[in-house]
Amino acid sequence: MPRFAANLSMLFTEAPLPERFERAARAGFTAVELQFPYDTPAEQLQQALFRNKLTLMLHNLPAGDWAAGDRGIACHPDRVEEFRNGVDTALAYAAALGAPQLNCLAGIRPANVTAEMAHRVLVDNLRYAATKLKAQGLKLLIEPINTFDIPGFFLHGTRQALDLIAEVGADNLFLQYDVYHMQRMEGDLAHTLAAHIEKIAHIQIADNPGRHEPGTGEINFDFLFAHLDRIGYEGWVGCEYKPAATTEAGLGWMNKS
């Protein structure tokens, strides 16, 4: 059975972030992930991890101004310096919190930027970030995201991500495969996972439709979890879903597993 990490940006949101660590541990999680930890001092998060005997498996690089509509800036030609400063910020948090990998959101392609230019900027930024992360022994991940939830998101397919990884040519650059996003864009989850498992360093889950917990939609998670065991996946599975009710009320799928 896969190992599950609670995404504390989406689970246990009934409580302030520092209290979510305790709730996750009480629910049986031994690892967590965060989308953006930067509004909370690293020392406070470090203490919460230690106090609850939790491991942080992942967080994202800074992604611009989320409230203003940014969903990553790695493909934005006019924000390269901001992106690179964000890499330094993310590395400081990763060092304090022990995160072994960081996820880079490519972002929405600006209307005045061609696809070719966005691609070139993204490749350059990924090479820069991968080099910086490798010096600290960390993996860099890229995540395709569906364009129904985020119209215009530049990286939106598995093949596109794999081609990027090959072009960047960094041995610490991997795919973060989000089951929910790729169900919406591509389907064929089991085949894709099996075919590319060596390039997948992290998996995230949510059911479709609704992006709620496993068992609320069309995806056969009992099959999928057993499939991950069969194909030898050894990484973590991040629970990045929106609970249909409270987080605890929706954890029956994990206890069943």
Which residues are known catalytic residues? 143, 240
Question: Three-class SS of residue 13?
Answer: coil
Q: Which amino acid is at 46?
A: Q
How far is the C-alpha of 152 from the C-alpha of 160, rounded, in Å? 14
Residues facing 153 on adjacent strands: 108
List, in sequence order, the alpha helices (H) in the chain. Answer: 17-26, 42-51, 80-97, 115-135, 158-168, 179-185, 189-196, 221-230, 252-256
In the chain, count H helices and then E strands: 9, 8
φ, ψ of residue 22 to 5 degrees: the values are -65, -40
How far is the C-alpha of 111 from the C-alpha of 120, rounded, in Å? 16
